[in-house]
Amino acid sequence: MKNFIGTYECKIDDKGRIKLPASLTKQMEHFADEPFIVKRSVFQKCLEVYPMEPWDRLMAKINALNRFVKKNADFIRMFTAGVKTVEMDNVGRLQISKDLTQFANLNKEIVITSAGELFEIWDKESYEQVIAVSEIDFANLAEDVMGNLDEINNQNL
């Protein structure tokens, strides 16, 4: 599993094209010229961009859900709404569809940030608001999320 690294300030043009930074395009080369999947984030007004392998793993879990349970069918529909495949063009740009651009409120100034095996595309102002938490708030969040990792890992042995 490969992980993306970095945060980049970029621009998106009126046609929804993002010129990717060279260091990000270099990281994307590790995915063997396969298309990427772009989707709406579940929790934030941003876009998530998945390489095909992590996307296929995620969809295997989703496809295992019983579609005869209404909440599962509703979740699948909402989760996959607006999903698109994208490929980097020969000058290092991604074309983002109008519906996804509108969902994430992408204007001229955007931020692309790594999120493990995927990366996110944010409106710059929205991104800055989300990461502007106090050090104490982040420390508490880190402790809540990562503080009991040893206990969880020991249970899985």
Rounded to the nearest 5 degrees, what angle is found at the Cα of 40, between the Cα atoms of 101 and 35? 85
C-alpha distances (whole Å) from 155 to each of 80, 143, 144, 146 are 33, 19, 18, 15
pLDDT tens digit string along 111-124?
999 999 999 999 99
The pTM for the full model equals: 0.88
Sketch out the chain's domains with CATH numbers: 7-129 (3.40.1550.20)
Q: Tell how far CA 157 is from the center of its chain.
A: 30
DSSP state of 34: -
Q: What is the arithmetic mean of pLDDT over 39-43?
A: 95
pLDDT tens digit string along 69-121?
999 999 999 999 999 999 998 888 999 999 999 999 999 999 999 999 999 99
Are 87 and 38 in contact by the 8 Å Cβ rule? The answer is no
Q: Tell how far CA 35 is from the center of its chain.
A: 14
